[in-house]
Structure 1
Amino acid sequence: MLSTVPNEILFTIAENLSPGPLLNLLLTCRSFHHSLSRLMLRHALANKDFTPALVWASIEGHVPLIKTILAHTPASDEATKMEEIALREACDHGSLKSVETLLDHGVPHTPPEDNDRRYPLAIAVYKCHLPVVRLLLSRGAVPDVWPGYPPMAFDLCRNGEVEILRELLAAGADPNARNNHMSSCFTLAAEYGHLECLKVLLEYGAEVDVVDRDNDTPMILALYCERWDVVEFLLEQEECDLVTRNLRGFDPLNLACITGRADVVRKIFSKQVPGHDTFWYERELVPMVSLARMRHREEVVEVLEQEILKLWLASSTL
């Protein structure tokens, strides 16, 4: 409705208001912003309440108004709190110029002592504002700040935001940090199928052989979720764990058979050197053949029978 009201009428209404809900509502009228900037400043100077004007200017990237308000704001704890709010809002909306102006003024971007997750860098990372993330990191923002909390990189690995992930790792984020479920960034990237994130994590020293609280490895999760490009990539890594079983009793070979990927089964056999006794194939592979037949995985059955024959011949010559 407000968008249909002429600016002259809106300005008359707003000029008789103190900063409050109605004035904030008027700020949503995009065509009215330039007129309101001087009005907001006038209200701020008259009422000594700079917060609405500074927050609005920071969201909109109105640098001249930001500088004017900061110049008229006397130093105090209340003023610092107002400036921190403005910085968080600028990070939330990806307003690079506003963030730069506030940082240049000396607005602190350090994490609060009370573990408030509204930390400027965390906000920019969550909203995937890459230029703002780069600016904050260049000014000394810390990527890992709260012991016991999942690192900022977790959401990036879950969502496949590889560029911001690279920025955090280059700034010192721990590629092997764990959450409460004992999942790592590498685990999440494998589970959600983000191959490029896996490659970046490896560049910065991520461990391939990690297990979470359910004893799931990255390979097991990639197989469960049928992330075949990730499975192929993990099979190329020497450190890839192919023998660990999760708490449900599945290992990579079981899951490859169940999903009917004969090519993966072959590659697992080509890499795996089982540390089992000579009758391992009877206990493990023969039941897998029956399971594969029940699921009509004929190609898998053929591969398994070939491997059983090889193992049987090898054991019979001992």
Structure 2
Amino acid sequence: MTDTSRPGHDRTDPALSVIMGERRQLINLAYRLLGSLAEAEDAVQETYARWYAMSPSQRDAVESPGAWLTTVAGRICLNTLKSARARRERYVGAWLPEPLPEPAEWAADRTDGTAADPADRVTLDESVNMAFLVVLESMTPAERVAFILHDVFRYPFAEVAEVTGRTPAACRQLASSARRRLHGLRDPKPPVAKQAGVVRAFKAAWEAKDIEALIGLLDPDATAVADGGGLVMAFLDPIEGAEPIARGWMEIADRMPTGMTLLERTVNGRPGLVARLDGVVVTVFAFEVVDDRIKQIWAVRNPEKLRPWTSG
């Protein structure tokens, strides 16, 4: 695979070049493949563990450390995706990807007390918006890996085949199938400023408990999905239709404890909302806005998925 090491690195120390030049690339790749920052970090850690498990002479024999790391990380992610299907069948309620904030909103510290590494931050673009990631979840592991490596990271199918263990022709078919699943997401979306205006209006109507205004902001066929992971209260089944969603949000408003605040924030590169209770992020809301109305709402409440968000 293509060596993505940055120019100017000391080529006499491949390990240093790998650490300095490849970690962010690997995190970005693994998050898009897995939809989980925690799992992405684990995959990258395992990739480095395999690199350092080799002898110095074996590492020196690797012509392109960046290519080697990408291949190994891709294979680890592929295996993780295969095993994740069984785990997610046992998951309480809907499983949603981990939402990510803007870089400025990234939590200053990890739960283990260590400072957040800028190399662990995911670049926010159209390939990480929540709608995109949710559709990726519907793909087979091989489809997802082939599509992300080829269409997002621009690896040739011959190199994708090294990761998937399939022929380049088979990988081409996998990517084509993945594109068909994503067909509806390629339609033009309102400008970000207009999306932000719709989300802002939704926030205002919610806070005012104006159910008619909420219904007017929702697409008639809108769907709302929540992810509490069985750790916190969340509705287990999707809510479908503008009026049922509006009524559900009215119930949430009635139950909001004192000290709860709603803030406008960017979620995976799109306008969203964050609920804080006494300064701690407890829910992240992502939205898909189509034709000036909200088509999808994703509410992530599982505290294990909110690590990257600033608290306090």
Report the TM-score when normalising by structure 2: 0.22
Higher strand share: 2
Q: Which has the higher contact order (CA 8 A, sep 6+)?
A: 2
Bigger share in helix = 1
TM-score (norm 1): 0.22
